[in-house]
Structure 1
């Protein structure tokens, strides 16, 4: 069966767990190019274009985060990826949490970057709907010009800025408003794993930023019915 989503699938067979990368809004899978190049040398890496983004089809109507998660699950089933490490940026992090809620038994590691599990407020929903209406009328170029230096540091490499701008302007305005207006609708819970001293992950848009010292996040103790990893 031909997958619904466009995707990148790199790396040779390896005993290491595959890595699945979920991009943010309004980007596409090419935002992960440095990570794909780095990790594909040692493990399989899968990076899809979400529904309505990049080379994946645009579908009419509102697309909830659960639908994006279903798309990811279907793709991984088609590719035969059973157990994996899952990473998501921004909206991609919210989708990663939805994936964990749907098929968490397959997720062996979870990387959440610049995202939130909190449900959307009424004001936030109204703001998303207004932005959706604007993008349908105006397209994304004006929006991309406005938010570029919120997406990357002002001192970022010009090639990084240009890449981020290209991703935004290449996104279909017919596809963007669906997730833009949807947002998270209910609290999502995920397991709380100990912080690891392993290598830090940076998107291509942040490669010129000096890393800050990590700060431990508050963590609710896990239920004794499920062992910690």
Structure 2
């Protein structure tokens, strides 16, 4: 069982005939929307969110088909961004959010920033390319093997080929990162993804706080 960080509460939000499950940490007015990597869930943000709570209002949803959120029919980044925008608006904070996309959720963070007002947008560990990749390759592209032992319980992927197929249009989008020219083990090359929300939660929290 995961330890319970302080100030966390879990809620549901109606979306496309179903419900989006999300965690919220109440702090100052500015909302920060944390988007987990595909095949993981909102718990990957718990250590970082505990550091951020107090500086902002932190929101970490389970994306459709992940964690406790059901998989609906509509899964384009624009459709999911619309649901998340309504979720943030429902808080009544009247301040544009900061949107943080981890790894394969980068297309969603980009879609949100393209459609809606944001105070800032940050993507981390975006893979250089997972076009046509299978489940294991999608998981590996996040840098999950670099998660410290004490945080491994927050990074347990759902290795479901059906979920990869449902998100294929996201995964096959061009990446903004340039491919790494030579193959290395993830632990050897600092330029490869390293699952930053869990390998360096304090450092990433500081980057987000700078945007506030």
* Superposition TM-score, scaled by structure 1 size: 0.60
Q: 2:119 aligns with which of 100, 103, 108?
A: 108
Aligned to 1:152, the other structure's residue is in SS state helix
Q: Where does residue 23 of structure 2 map in the other structure? A: 8
Q: Where does residue 151 of structure 1 map in the other structure? A: 144
Shift of 1:9: 1.2
Aligned to 2:167, the other structure's residue is in SS state helix
Q: Where does residue 77 of structure 2 map in the other structure? A: 65
Two-structure CA RMSD over aligned residues (Å)? 3.6
How many Å separate the matches in 2 of 1:185 and 1:35?
Answer: 28
* Superposition TM-score, scaled by structure 2 size: 0.64
Shift of 1:148: 9.2
Q: Where does residue 167 of structure 2 map in the other structure? A: 179
Does the 8 A contact of 1:6 with 1:56 survive in 2?
yes
- Runs of 4+ aligned structure 1 residues displaced above 4 Å come to 171-174, 184-188
Q: How does 1:47-196 map to 2 (within 5 A)?
A: 47-60=60-73, 63-82=75-94, 83-103=96-116, 105=117, 107-115=118-126, 124=131, 127-128=132-133, 131=134, 143=136, 147=140, 150-153=143-146, 156-164=147-155, 166=156, 168-169=157-158, 174-183=162-171, 185=173
Structure 2 residues not aligned, in runs of 5+ = 1-11, 177-194, 205-212
How many Å separate the matches in 2 of 1:182 and 1:18?
Answer: 25
**Rg larger in 1 or in 2?**
1
Structure 1 residues not aligned, in runs of 5+ = 136-142, 189-200, 212-229
The structure richer in strand per residue is 2
Cα gap change, 1:11 to 1:172, in 2 (>3 Å): farther
Aligned to 1:7, the other structure's residue is in SS state strand
How many Å separate the matches in 1 of 2:99 and 2:115?
Answer: 13
